[in-house]
Chain A
Amino acid sequence: MTVTGTQQSEITRDESSLRRFLHGLPGVDQVGAQDRAAALATRSIKTTAKAWAIDAAISMVDLTTLEGSDTHGKVRSLAAKARRPDPSDLSTPTVAAVCVYPDLVATAVEALRGSKVGVASVATAFPSGRASLATKLHDVREAVAAGATEIDMVIDRGAFLSGRYGQVFDEIVATKAACGTAHLKVILETGELVTLDNARRASWLALLAGGDFIKTSTGKVTPAATPPVALVMLQAVRDFAADHGAVRGVKLAGGIRSTKDAVRYLVMVNEVAGEQWLTPDLFRFGASTLLNDLLQQRHKLATGAYDGPDYVSMD
Chain B
Amino acid sequence: MTVRKTYKLYIGGAFPRSESGRVYPVTSSSGDLLAQAAQASRKDVRDAVVAARGAFAGWSGATAYNRGQVIYRIAEMLEGRRDQFAAEVAAAEGLGTAAAEGIVDASVDRLVWYAGWTDKYAQITGGANPVSGPYINYSVPEPSGVIGVLAPQQSSLLGLISVVAPVIAMGNTCVVVSSFARPLPAISLAEALGTSDLPGGVVNVLSGSAAELAPWLAAHRDVNGIDITGAAPEGRANLLRSASDTVKRTYSPAGGRADGPGEEDWATEPALRRMAAFVETKTVWHPLGI
Contacts and interface: CB of A to CB of B under 8 A. Distances in A.
Is any CB of A less than 8 Å from a CB of B in the complex?
yes
Contacts of B289: 29-31, 34
B260 interface: no
A244 B288 CA distance: 33
A195 interface: yes
B290 interface: yes
B284 to A, nearest CB: 15
A32 B287 CA distance: 8
A181 to B, nearest CB: 40
Contacts of B134: 31, 34
B232 to A, nearest CB: 55
Contacts of A32: 287
A194 interface: yes
A31 B137 CA distance: 14
Nearest to B289: A30
B24 interface: no
Nearest to A28: B289
Interface in A1-44: 29-32, 34
A232 to B, nearest CB: 13
Interface of B: 134-135, 287-290
A34 B289 CA distance: 10
A196 to B, nearest CB: 8
Query: Shortest 8 CB-CB distances between A and B: which pairs?
Result: A30-B289, A31-B287, A31-B289, A31-B134, A195-B290, A30-B290, A29-B287, A29-B289
Interface of A: 29-32, 34, 194-195
Chain B interface, DSSP helix/strand/loop, else mixed:
loop
15 contacts: A29-B287, A29-B289, A30-B287, A30-B289, A30-B290, A31-B134, A31-B135, A31-B287, A31-B288, A31-B289, A32-B287, A34-B134, A34-B289, A194-B290, A195-B290
Nearest to B287: A31
Nearest to B288: A31
Main secondary structure of the interface of A (DSSP, over half): helix
Contacts of A194: 290
Candidate in A30, A31, A34, A194 with the most chain B CB atoms within 10 angstroms: A31
A195 B289 CA distance: 9
Contacts of B287: 29-32
B11 to A, nearest CB: 48
Contacts of A30: 287, 289-290
A29 B285 CA distance: 14
A266 to B, nearest CB: 26
A32 to B, nearest CB: 7
Given A30-B287, A31-B134, A194-B290, 4 more contacts: A30-B289, A30-B290, A31-B287, A31-B288
A31 B287 CA distance: 6
A88 B289 CA distance: 48
A155 B289 CA distance: 25
B290 to A, nearest CB: 5
A113 B135 CA distance: 55
Contacts of B288: 31
B137 to A, nearest CB: 13
Contacts of A31: 134-135, 287-289
Contacts of A195: 290
Q: Of residues B134, B288, B290, which shows the largest number of chain A Cβ atoms within 10 Å of its Cβ?
A: B290
Contacts of A34: 134, 289
A194 B289 CA distance: 12
A31 B288 CA distance: 7
A34 B135 CA distance: 13
Nearest to A35: B287
A29 B289 CA distance: 7
Contacts of B290: 30, 194-195
B112 to A, nearest CB: 45
A249 B290 CA distance: 26
Nearest to B133: A31
A161 B122 CA distance: 42
A29 B287 CA distance: 8
Contacts of B135: 31
Nearest to B286: A31
B249 to A, nearest CB: 34
Contacts of A29: 287, 289
A31 B289 CA distance: 6
A21 to B, nearest CB: 22
B289 to A, nearest CB: 3
B132 to A, nearest CB: 13
A194 B287 CA distance: 18
A32 B290 CA distance: 11
Nearest to A31: B287
A30 B134 CA distance: 10
A252 B86 CA distance: 83
A31 B134 CA distance: 7
B133 to A, nearest CB: 8
A30 to B, nearest CB: 3
B131 to A, nearest CB: 12
